[in-house]
Amino acid sequence: DADVTQTPRNRITKTGKRIMLECSQTKGHDRMYWYRQDPGLGLQLIYYSFDVKDINKGEISDGYSVSRQAQAKFSLSLESAIPNQTALYFCATSDGTVNQPQHFGDGTRLSIL
Amino acid sequence: ELKVEQNPLFLSMQEGKNYTIYCNYSTTSDRLYWYRQDPGKSLESLFVLLSNGAVKQEGRLMASLDTKARLSTLHITAAVHDLSATYFCAVDDSGGSNYKLTFGKGTLLTVNP
């Protein structure tokens, strides 16, 4: 089983719909992250959380919100989806030590029509 | 604002040849991470470089970090088809707290027979 699980893996929806992407992890890490990947642009940080009560905006948080329901669960919501939010979304976790990389889920491919 | 630039962005090479991918970054940091991504897949950690002069090797890949030049290199020796993937470097932009990574745009490597 994957250590970092994202659901759904693929989603097609319409403009204006509310969408929730979910991430759960079994690594026991305190830190969780949501990234967005667009072709040719690398990854951009949307939100990150150090624990259940500590949630922070990343560089592209506009149009997104998050919820940290438990240490192991971190959800990303698009309140009213728009086509330019079509992208590949990744959840990642880390234990906060510099000699350990962030661990990524398999991604959610989101298409907004 | 930290900028991370990779070059080349596209690299087509023949099996058996050597080549280097470069990762330049714009502010002081001594924490740099290399990841590999296969098409449609997650990001897999390759190397963690944590100090000036750090060198790590795994199989046909070797990564190094020169913090004074703000430069990391990923050297490929005697390329094989299985190395075809997109390679990302990411720089820790959080002053050592390891919570914020800034990614390069990635280098798409294609190894031809």
Torsion of CA A72, A77, A83, A86, to 10 degrees: 0
* pLDDT tier, B94 (very low <50, low <70, confident <90, very high otherwise): confident
**Nearest beta carbon to residue B45 from set A101, A107, A109:** A101
Q: Determine the Cα–Cα distance for residues A74 and A65; give it in Å rounded to an integer.
A: 11
* Pairing mode, strands A103-104 and A87-94: antiparallel
Give the residue from chain B lying closest to A43, CA to CA: B103
The pLDDT assigned to B51 comes to 86
CA distance A57 to B29: 22
Mean pLDDT estimate for chain B:
92
Burial of B37 (0-12, 13-18, 19+ CB in 10 A): buried
Report pLDDT for A57. 93
A28-80 pLDDT per residue, tens: 999 999 999 998 888 999 999 999 999 999 989 999 999 999 999 999 999 99
- Given this model, what pLDDT does residue B96 score? 59
Across the interface, whether the CB atoms of B48 and A58 are under 8 A apart is answered: no
Alpha-helix runs per DSSP H in chain B: none
* Residue B28's pLDDT band (cuts 50, 70, 90): confident
Residue B86 and residue B69: Cα distance in Å, rounded? 24
Q: Do A101 and B103 touch (CB under 8 A)?
A: no
Contact between B4 and B102 under an 8 Å Cβ cutoff? The reply is yes
